[in-house]
Structure 1
Amino acid sequence: MRVAVLIGAGFLTLMILPVACGGDGGNGSPATDAGPDVVDTFDIADDVPNPDLDVVDVWEVDLLLDVVDDSDMPADTNGDIEDSASVDDASKTDVEDVSDDDNSFAVVPLGARGTIWGLSAVSKDRIYAVGESGTLIRWNGTAWLPLDIGVEADLRAIWTQGNDVAYAVGLGGVILQYDAGYWVQMDSGTTQDLYGVYGFAADSVFAVGANGTVLNWDGTSWTSLVSNTNVPLYGVWGPDPSIIFAVGAQAQVVRMADGVGVTQQAAAVSVTLRGIWGTKNTNIYAVGTGGTVARWDGSKWQGVVTNDFEGRDLYGIWGANDNEIYTVGDLGTIIRFNGDKWTLQEAAGPYNKSNPWKAIAGIADSSGKLLTGFVAGDEGKMMAYNDKQWKDTTSDPTVDLHDVWVDDDVATAVGAGGLVVRRRTTGWVGEESGVQQELFGVWRDNDVLWAVGASGTVIRREDGDWSVVDSGITTTLRGVVAFDGKVWACGDKGTIRHFDGAVWTTESTKVVQALTDIYGTASGPIYAVGDQGIVIVRQPDGVWVKVPSGTSAALRRAWGYDGKLYAAGDFGTIVSGDATGLEVIYSAPTEYLYGLWIAPSGDLVGVGWAGLVLSGQQEFEVVPTETAAVFESVMGSSVDDFFIVGRKGVLMRYRANQ
C-alpha cells in the first residue's frame, strides 16, 4: 500500500493508494487435545473537505490493518459509517529500508507473507509454522506470534514434541533447535538444502534434503547417513529410530535401516513425492505430484484412489490415526481419509479456499477426529478448522492491541490473549508473555517492563524474559506506572494496587468507578483517571483524593507534561490541570478518544474511534484517516515519529517527511 498525508486549509487527510505486491509440511506426530466496551451511541461526522492538497508527511503501517467489523461499532443511527479499505497482501519490506522521499506507506506485517512450507501442532494453543525468509510463527490459541530466530534462510519443515522440543530445517543446511525457551542455530555439518525433518525424542531427529541428504541428530552432533540416492528428498517419517522412510523426486522412497538406505519405487518415475506420514511400519502414506497417494503395507507400495479426478499436486499430509488422515495441495485441495475412502473436502473459505496449500497440521479430539487445525501455503495464506469447517484466517495477529510503550528504537505493544509484540531495530517479533489473559497497560521503569491486565494479571520483563508476578488480586487491572522499582496499577472498582519492591498492597481510593489509566513520575504526583470523569491523585501520605475534572465523560488515558496532567476520553474530551483541579480544553460530541500521549515538544497526540487522530498544543487538528480502525494507544519519540496500536491487531507508525 502507498499512503500520503495531505494538508490544506488547515486540515490533514490520510490517503491510501494501492501499490503492486509482490516445505513440505504436516509430518508431525499425531496429537490429541481438547477495552472496555463502548456503550455510547454516536454518529461519525462528515469528512472534512480538504482542497489545495500538498503531500507533506509519511505514515507507515507496521502491521496489517484489519478494519473493525459491524459488531465492534457503536450504533449508527444515520447509517453514515462505512467500511474502510484494509491494508493487506503487502510485501515483506522492512520500514527502515523505505526512503522518506517517496512518501510511501510501508507495510511490515507480523505474519508470514511468503510461502508457508511447514506446520507442526503440539496442542490447540501451541502450533508452529515455518516458511520463506526465516519465517517462524507460533499459534498461542488466540493469535500467531512472530518469533525471533535470527536467520533469513527459507525454512521448509518443522517437527515438535511437547512444549520443549522442536527442530526446524531450511535452505543452506540451516537447522534450528528450540532450547530452554530460545531458538538457536545448530551446526548441521552441511550446506545442502534441507526440506524435511522428523524425530522421536530430543536426541533422536532426522533431516532430509537435496542430493539425497539424510542427517541424524543423536543429542551431540549431526551425522550424515548413507542414503544411496542423489535425488532431492522432501519428506521423512518413521515408526521408530531404527527404520525411517524418506520420499523425493522420481517417486523414490529411501528406507533407512541402521543408517543405510535402500531405495524403493512408490509410483511412476515422473512423480515427485512431497510428503509422508504413517501410524506404523505396515501403514504409511506418501503423497506427491499428479494427485499421487501411495500406501506402504509393510511389503510393497500401492497406489490409492481419491475422488480428485483432476489429479492436483499434493504437498502435505497429516493424520491423527488410521481413520483420520488429511492431505493438501494445489488449488485449495484438501482430501480426507475416513478409514474407508479418500474424499475431497469443501472449504468454507471464502477467499482462500483455492489457495495452493503446502502444509497441514492439527489436533484431534478424544474420539480421534480432527478438532482444530490449519492449512497453509502460498502468500502466507491460511485456513483454520473450527466447528467442522475450513475457514479463512490470517497469520497476522488480529487480536486487540491495547497499549504501547516506546523508548527510542524499541517499542512494546500488549493486547488480548497475553499478546506481547516488541519492535527492535531488526523488526517486530512476538515474545512469550507466560499468560493468556488480556493485557491492557504497559510501562517501563529503567530496564524493567511492567504489563497488567485481566484477572489481576501482572507480568514483568527483566533481562530479556517475561515472568508472571502474583498481584494478590483477581480484579482486572487497566493501567500501570512504575519508577525507582515501585509500581502502581489501577483497575476496576476503583482499585489501586501498589508494589513497594517487596510486597503488593491495596491503597484506598474511596471510589467505585473503573480506573482506566494511571500516570505519575518520581518528581511529581501520581494520578488515576476513569469512568464518569473520575480523577484522583495520590497524596504524599499515600491517601488518594478526588480532583475536580470538569467533566462527567469517561476518561480513558492520561499523560503528563510540564507539571500538568492531561486526560482524554469519550465525546472527544480532553482535560488538563493539576492536583487542584482540571478543566476541559477540547471536546467533540462525535469523537471518542482512547489513547493520549504528549511528545517532548509539548504536542499532544490523541487517537480513538473510527481512525481518529488529532494533534496540537493549544489547538488540535483532526486527521480523517479514512479507516474505521479503532485506535487505543499512542506513543513515540517525537511528534514526527510515533506508533499507534488498536483493535483487530492495528499497529501503525507515523513519521513526518524530513
Structure 2
Amino acid sequence: MTQTRPAVTPQADRRRFFRQLLDGGKPNTPQRASWRRVPEVGAGDGDVLWSGLAVDGEVFVVGDEGMVLHFDGHTEGQAWTHMTSPTRLPLHGLWGPSRDNLIAVGWMGTVLHFDGSAWQSVRGGVVDEASGRFAPCLENTPLFAIDGNARGEAWAVGDDGVILHFDGACWQAEESPTQVNLRAVACAPNGQVYAAGGEGTVLRRDGDGRWTRLPCQLGSGFHALLAVGDDELLLGGGRYFVDQGGFRGELVRYRDGDFQALTFSTPLPRLRALKAYKDGTLIVGDQGHLYYLQDLRLDRLESNSLHDLMDIVPLPTGEALAVGDFGTIMTAAPDFTEALAPPPAAVRPTAWEAMASPTDRQLWGLWEAPDGSCYACGEAGTVLRLTNETWEILPAPSELAVHCVWDAGHGGLFAAGQLGRIYRFDGERWQLHFDLHLDLTILAMWGTGPDSIYAVGDEGLVLHFDGLGWRRMPSGTSSALYGLWGLDDQHLLAVGDFGLVLRYNGREWAEFKVGTESFLYGVWGQALDDIYAVGLSGALAHFNGQRWQIEPTRLRDDLLSIAGSPAAGISAVGTRGRALRLTEGQWLSEETGTEAGLRAVCATRGGATYAVGDRGTIMLRRPEA
C-alpha cells in the first residue's frame, strides 16, 4: 500500500545552484574530509562490489559471484560476514524498505529476495535443460539497477531496455520505449519513476504506468541517476573516446524540461553513482575518483584509492560508504560503526509506548468496532484483536495479505486484501464472502452498517455491499485508491495516486481536486468542512468546506495514515516511526521511540491512539489526563 524509499532525496533549493558560497576552509566540510577503507571487510582483492544498502542499523553489500556481505551494527564485536547466497552470478543492485524485505538484482536477470533470515531466488538464471547453458529468453536479460518507493513497489532495469516492475507481490515486465541498455533507475518524490542508460537515454513513467523517452540531445552513456526534486534530475556517466584511449566522464542536469551538460575545468572519469550527501551530492567514479558537488562547484575528495568505485551507500547519520572494485568499501566517517548506528542521545519524553506484539509480520490496517474492540491486520493473513490491552492472533482468513478490516458490530468482522477477496468472521471461523476473481488488492474499507460497506483498491477498484451482495461501482479512474473515509452514504472520499481524491455523493464518484501531485495514502475528517488527507514526503492537505489547502509539515518522511476522535485528538503516522499530532491548530512532531514504519493509525472513542506497522510493531498513545 505504501510507498517507502530507503534514502529520501532532499528537495534542492534551485537558487543555490547559482551561488558560489562553498566554504572550503573548514576541515569538517565534506570536500575537505579524507576517505579511507573500512577495515576487516573480508572481500577478496579480485571481488567487485557493485551496490549496497544501510537499513535498520545494518549494512548489506552485493557483488560478483553472488556475494552478499553483511555488517550488523547491533551485535557485540561487529564484523563483516558473508551471507549464504543461492547464486554465483554477479549482483549489481540492491534495494529494500526494511532488513526483512530486501531485493537484489543482477546478471542473467537474477532477482533474489531476503526475508530477514535467508536469501531466495525469485526469477532469472533460467537454464536450458538440453544444453545446460543459460537459456536465450527475456527472463535472463541482465539487470543492473533497482529502486523502489514507500509502497513496497520496485523497478529494475537492464540490457535491451528491459524494465521490470514489482508490485509488492510479483514481477512483471513493463513496455519500454527503447532497446538501449539501461543502467540506472530512481523513484522521484512525486511518485514518478525515471530510468537512464546509453546514448543519452532518459525515460519517465507516468501515473498510468506508461514509459516515455525524454528528449535528451546529449549522447552520454548514463550510469547514475539522482532525482533531486519532483522534475529535476542529475545524471552521471561517460563516453569512450578513441583519441583519448578511454572514457570521459559527463555530468548532466535535467530541469524545466531541458538537459544541460555541466562543465568543469578538470576532466572527469566515468561516473558510476550519485547520492544526496550533506546538503550536496556525492559522486563516485572510475580509478577511485570521489567528488562533492554543491552549487555547481565540484570538489575532488581525497580517496587514497585507484580502484573503480561503483556505488554509494548513505548511512543514518548523513555519512556514507563508497563500494567498488577489489573489495573496496570506503568512508569519510571518523567511526564507521557510530555512523551506522550512532549512540543514543538523551532520551526525549514521548507520549507513545511500544506494546507487546504476537507477530513480526508487517501490519497494514487498524479498525475500532462499535463495541470498542480493536483489530489489526497484515501480511500472510494476519489478523489481531485487542483484548484487555493484550493483542491476540485470530485464525487467518487465508495465506494472502490482509490490508484492511472493518466491523459494523452486528454483521461480523470483514477482512479484505490480495486478489480482491473479502472474508467474514463469525467469531469462530472465516468464510469467503466475496471473490473479485481479479489480481487486484483491496486496500481500504468503510461502511455505515452491516448493509452498506464500501471497499477501494488497485486500478480504481470500488466495491459496495448492500446487505445482499457485493457489486463493483464505476470510479472513473484506473489509479490505485489507498484510503477511504465517509460521513454517511452520501458523503465519501477515496484518495490515491498523484493527489487523486474521489468524492461520492450517493449516486456517482467524481474527481475532487486537491492541488498536489503527491500520492495520498490516508484521509479522515470529523465534519464535511474539516477533512485531512496525508501522503508522500509529508504531504498534508486540509479541506475547510470550500477548498483544499496544503499545510506545511517540513517532513521528508511519508505520511501513511491519519485518524482522530473527540477523545483522542487527531494523529498522523508514517515512515521511520514518524507521528504528527494536531495541537492548537498546529501539526507537531512526536517522538514514538521506534524507527519502524507506521502504516496505520486508529484514534479510539475512549481516547487511546494505536499505530501499527513494520515487523509487527504496535504503538500506543494513552489518553491524556
Report the TM-score, using the length of structure 1 for normalisation: 0.40
Report the TM-score, using the length of structure 2 for normalisation: 0.42
Q: For the pair shown, which has the larger CA radius of gyration, 1 or 2?
A: 1
